[in-house]
Amino acid sequence: MVYRLWLEQTAKKLRTTKLLVNLITIADKDTYCRKVFDRFRVYACMMKSILIGLVKVYQAIVSPYFPNACRYTPTCSQYAIEAIRKHGAVRGGWLGLKRISRCHPWGGHGYDPVP
């Protein structure tokens, strides 16, 4: 739990709000953000957590109202989550947007893993 204490001390040093501390705690639970040693990585893990949270909110609130017509496996939202976890917020977000732009009736179909 030394890691958690370090996160709390870092959050205090950065004079952050309670929301930022909560986001760091969420990043702490993410297996891809376990070893955070500098400020840049803390912010990178927070951005990943925020983007993944937005996709999960979409999956929980918006997605149930649309028909299940995804042409690819895994679904576009699951692909975006995997891409963000694997490649980070910027490149993973870009890969997710590219995938969403390909998901139309004249696009491809089938199994499309994250590169």
pLDDT tens over the chain, length 115 residues: 555 666 666 666 655 555 555 555 555 555 555 555 566 777 888 888 899 999 999 989 988 888 887 888 888 899 999 999 999 899 999 999 999 888 887 878 888 888 8
pLDDT value of residue 109? 83
State the Cα–Cα distance between residues 65 and 40, nearest whole angstrom. Answer: 38
State how far the alpha carbon of 3 is from the alpha carbons of 9, 25, 34, 103, in Å.
10, 11, 8, 41
Task: Return the pLDDT at 23.
Answer: 52
Whole-model pTM above 0.75?
no
Rounded to an integer, what distance in angstroms lies between the CA atom of residue 76 and that of residue 41?
A: 26
